[in-house]
Copies of this chain bind each other. A is one copy, B any other.
Amino acid sequence: MAFKVGLLGLGTVGTGTADILLNPSQRHPLLKELEIHRVGVRSLDKARTVNLPPELLTTDLESIVTDPEVDIVVEVIGGLEPARSLILQAIAHGKHVVTANKAVIARYNDEIFTAATDAGVYVLIEAAVAGGIPVIEPLKQSLCANRLQTITGIVNGTTNYILSRMQSEGSDFNAVLADAQQLGYAEADPTADVDGFDAADKIAILASLAFGGRIKLEEVHREGIRQITAADITYADKLGFVIKLLATAKRDNPTFDEALNSDQLQVRVHPTLVPKDHPLASINGVFNAVLIEGDPVGQVMFFGPGAGSGPTASAVVSDILNIAAILKVERGSAVQANGKPLLDPLLACSHQHYCTIAPIEELETRFYARVLAEDSPGVIGRLGTCFGQHNVSLESVVQIGLRDNRAEIVVITHHVREGNFRQALQEIKAVDAIADIPSTLRVL
């Protein structure tokens, strides 16, 4: 008996997916029990690199998600609509769903997973985060015994490519972005990548899995990399750091009191100074990496290609196979109160509540600030005093050189409360001898 796949979309990822399904040799034998039943496309006439019988193709995507013969719907059309509606319709018709759509999952996880649980179907999303790197399933299964503490990821290849080139070439952001666009590493409208929206979607999904609660995307603090200058990268380098766009999700209170249910998370995306000996510092180019810290496992890191047809299709088809394996052994003889199959508690989404996310002012972290000031005695003293008055203790204050006749001073703080640091900056900006504070960045 073959399991029938309805494929929505035949773009980059859809083509990669079909490629694997049509070439099972030397792969897991279960692949031979999968069959592409229908493929939904925008145009029937387009030339395709994948060799599919033309009668499988249709422009009527709804007919696929409602087709009684389809067991598993694979959504790889991307974008919010009609992807969201098609996923919900597929679930309503009792189909299992595999999707690579981080934007839909980050925004509509509530309605999608509630519907999936009610219907007794799986919605698997390995391809939605970090492309081909196994991270969703390891979080759900291989690390499920841990009390997870922190997830820190380089989850956007475009920004990592831009920052890596700025680092190696000493170039400015706009020049590298323009080149990346020409080379196809950045979109014509690069907003989703360079302003951190894509990374925010992904860390929201990872946080939800790691900490067992839903995440309101608008509560994820998000900063992009447009403001990063060659000067900052040079100074960071001198101080022993590289600058990376990190997506972080962290439990705020290691001393959790279950009775108080005092769990509070930080979920944030921002450029960060990463010490050069940190495992994430050497992740360059379009590669992604996700570092997970848990008790008792310690630190584990997953590294690999975060995008692209092949890697993303690897994740999509692995999810399809995982569902086929479940169907094969007829898992689900146990039923819920509504008569629908009971889902595997590790693979299904079991949480209902929203996580509490701490405001960014409450974050305790180290900071880097670049300050332009009059080149006169006493300026460093004034800086130190202002920071001190706001409980911001400093690790180092270094005058790097002169720029436009001003002294360029780089400050690194100890771990301080972000709110205090921002208040100190306000006050410092008002000091006559201070010309400008062109950049402030967080330090890992």
Interface residues of A (CB under 8 A from B): 16, 19-20, 25-31, 126, 132-134, 136-138, 141-147, 212, 251, 256, 258, 263, 279, 282, 294-305, 308-311, 313-318, 320-322, 325-326, 328-334, 341-347, 350
Contacts and interface: CB of A to CB of B under 8 A. Distances in A.
Contacts of A132: 296-298, 300
Contact of A299 (B20, B27, B282, B304): B304
Contact of A346 (B30, B294, B332): B30
6 contacts: A29-B345, A132-B296, A138-B138, A144-B322, A300-B302, A301-B304
Contacts of A258: 25-26
B279 A317 contact: no
B326 A344 contact: yes
Contact of A134 (B138, B311, B331): B138
Nearest to A283: B279
A149 to B, nearest CB: 9
Contacts of A30: 144, 345-346
A145 B346 contact: no
Which of A20, A30, A31, A325 gathers most chain B CB within 10 Å? A325
Given A212-B28, A301-B302, A330-B334, A296 B309 contact: yes
Nearest to A347: B325
A104 to B, nearest CB: 21
B303 A279 contact: yes
A141 B141 contact: yes
A86 to B, nearest CB: 23
A326 B332 CA distance: 9
Given A25-B147, A134-B134, A298-B305, 15 more contacts: A26-B258, A27-B144, A29-B212, A30-B346, A134-B143, A138-B142, A143-B318, A145-B315, A145-B317, A296-B309, A326-B344, A329-B341, A330-B332, A330-B333, A330-B334
A336 to B, nearest CB: 10
Contacts of A134: 134, 138, 141-143, 300
A330 B341 CA distance: 10
A5 B141 CA distance: 18
Contacts of A326: 331, 344
Contact of A297 (B19, B138, B310): B310
A424 B311 CA distance: 42
A142 B318 contact: yes
A298 to B, nearest CB: 5
Contacts of A302: 300-303
A26 B126 CA distance: 23
A147 B192 CA distance: 33
A50 to B, nearest CB: 13
A325 B344 contact: yes
Please name the 6 residue pairs, one residue from A and one from B, whose CB atoms are nearest each other, closest first. A296-B310, A134-B142, A145-B317, A300-B304, A331-B331, A333-B333
A314 B329 contact: no
Contacts of A251: 26
A185 B311 CA distance: 37
B298 A311 contact: yes
Nearest to A293: B304
A313 B344 contact: no
Contacts of A346: 28, 30, 321-322, 325
A212 B26 CA distance: 9
A322 B137 CA distance: 12
A237 to B, nearest CB: 18
Nearest to A126: B142
Contacts of A29: 212, 345, 350
A279 to B, nearest CB: 7
